[in-house]
C-alpha cells in the first residue's frame, strides 16, 4: 500500500500543478443548470489515470469523468480529478484533486488543494496529516458553538432536499460556511477548521478520500439514507448528531 500511496501523492501534485498552471484558461465543454464541465476536468483525470495504468496496470478505478474499470489486483482507485469545478471556472481559489485507494480493509486518502499547496493525506491506521503535521478534529461538543460547513449538489431534487436540511440546522449553529468543494469540506473537519459537514446527494468520488482523512483524524463519517434522499455527515466525535441527522434525512 505504501508504494501506491507515495505514487498517489506524486500524481495528485502533478494533476494539481497542471490545474494551477491552467487556472486562467478554463475551457467549458458542457454548461449545466447547476454545474459546469471543463476540459481541465478530463485532462487532470487523464494525468492521474495514465499514471495509475502505467504503474499498476491490474488496478481498477472509479472516476468522475471516465467511469469505472474492474480490478484484477484487488486495488481500486476512486478519483475526483477536480472537485470544486464551478469555483475553478470562476477563478475562486478553493478546489482540489481527490484520490483514494482501497483493497479490503487497507486504504488511503489524498486531497490536494493546489492553490494553497495544502496536501491532506491519511493511511488507514497511521493518522491524518496536512503537509508535514498531524491533524485532528475539533473537540466542540455543543451545536450552538459549532461551525458547520454545508454543500448543495447538482440536481433540482438534491438542492431542494439540501435546503430543507439547511433550514433545520442553520439557526442551531454558531456559523455556516458554504465553500463548494466537498473533499475540502471533509478535510476542514479533519483539521479542526470546522466542526462538522453536511451535504445531500454526494457521489463516491466526492467523499472517498476525505472520509478516510476524517476518520484517521479522530472524527466520524456517516450516511443517512431514506427512500428519497441521502444525507452525508462528517464531524468530530464530541457532538451527538445521529438523532438530528436521522430526523433531517427523513429516515
Q: Is the dihedral of CA 22, 181, 130, 43 positive or negative?
A: negative
Tell me the pLDDT tens digit for each residue of 101-136.
Answer: 999 999 999 999 999 999 999 999 999 999 989 999
Predicted local confidence at residue 216, as pLDDT:
98
Q: Are residues 122 and 205 in the same domain?
A: no
115-to-50, 91, 160, 237 alpha-carbon distances in Å: 23, 11, 31, 30
181-to-26, 227, 242 alpha-carbon distances in Å: 17, 26, 24
Predicted local confidence at residue 124, as pLDDT:
96
Chosen domain end from 134, 161, 187: 134
Q: Are residues 13 and 111 in the same domain?
A: yes
User: Which residue has 455543543 as its cell numbers?
Assistant: 142
Give the C-alpha separation, 190 to 106, whole Å.
Answer: 19
Q: Are residues 164 and 89 in the same domain?
A: no
Tell me the pLDDT tens digit for each residue of 40-91.
Answer: 999 999 999 999 999 999 999 999 888 899 999 999 999 999 999 999 999 9
Pairing of strands 36-38, 28-31: antiparallel
Q: Are residues 129 and 174 in the same domain?
A: no
Q: Are residues 157 and 124 in the same domain?
A: no
Q: Are residues 88 and 192 in the same domain?
A: no
CATH number, domain containing residue 164:
3.40.190.80
The alpha carbons of the chain give a radius of gyration, in whole angstroms, of: 17
What's the total number of domains in the chain?
2
User: How many other C-beta atoms are found inside a 10 Å radius of the C-beta of residue 14?
Assistant: 16
Chosen domain end from 88, 103, 134: 134
Q: Are residues 15 and 103 in the same domain?
A: yes
Does the structure show a pLDDT above 70 at 191?
yes
Q: Are residues 184 and 224 in the same domain?
A: yes
Confidence band of 149 (pLDDT split at 50, 70, 90) = very high
Q: Are residues 7 and 112 in the same domain?
A: yes
Q: Which region holds residue 48: left if phi is over 0, alpha if psi is between -120 and 50, else beta?
A: alpha
Amino acid at each position: 500500500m505504501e508504494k501506491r500511496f507515495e505514487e498517489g501523492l506524486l500524481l495528485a501534485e502533478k494533476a494539481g500543478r497542471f490545474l494551477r498552471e491552467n487556472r486562467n484558461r478554463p475551457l467549458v465543454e458542457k454548461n449545466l443548470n447547476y454545474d459546469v464541465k471543463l476540459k481541465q476536468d478530463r485532462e487532470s483525470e487523464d494525468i492521474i489515470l495514465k499514471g495509475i495504468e502505467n504503474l499498476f496496470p491490474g488496478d481498477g478505478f472509479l472516476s468522475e469523468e471516465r467511469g469505472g474499470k474492474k480490478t484484477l489486483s484487488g486495488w481500486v482507485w476512486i478519483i475526483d480529478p477536480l472537485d470544486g469545478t464551478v469555483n475553478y471556472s470562476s477563478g475562486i481559489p478553493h478546489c482540489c484533486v481527490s484520490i483514494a485507494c482501497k483493497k479490503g480493509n487497507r486504504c488511503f486518502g489524498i486531497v490536494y488543494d493546489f492553490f494553497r499547496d495544502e496536501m491532506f493525506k491519511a493511511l488507514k491506521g497511521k493518522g491524518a496529516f496536512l503537509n508535514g503535521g498531524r491533524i485532528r478534529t475539533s473537540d466542540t461538543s455543543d451545536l450552538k458553538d459549532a461551525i458547520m460547513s454545508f454543500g448543495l449538489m447538482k440536481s433540482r431534487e438534491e438542492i431542494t432536499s439540501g435546503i430543507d436540511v439547511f433550514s433545520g440546522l442553520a439557526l442551531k449553529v454558531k456559523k455556516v460556511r458554504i465553500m463548494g468543494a466537498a473533499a475540502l469540506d471533509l478535510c476542514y473537519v479533519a483539521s479542526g477548521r470546522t466542526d462538522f459537514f453536511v451535504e445531500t446527494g454526494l457521489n463516491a468520488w466526492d467523499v472517498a478520500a476525505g472520509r478516510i482523512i476524517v476518520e484517521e483524524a479522530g472524527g466520524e463519517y456517516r450516511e443517512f439514507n431514506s427512500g428519497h434522499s441521502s444525507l452525508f455527515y462528517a464531524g468530530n466525535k464530541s457532538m451527538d448528531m445521529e438523532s438530528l441527522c436521522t430526523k433531517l434525512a427523513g429516515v
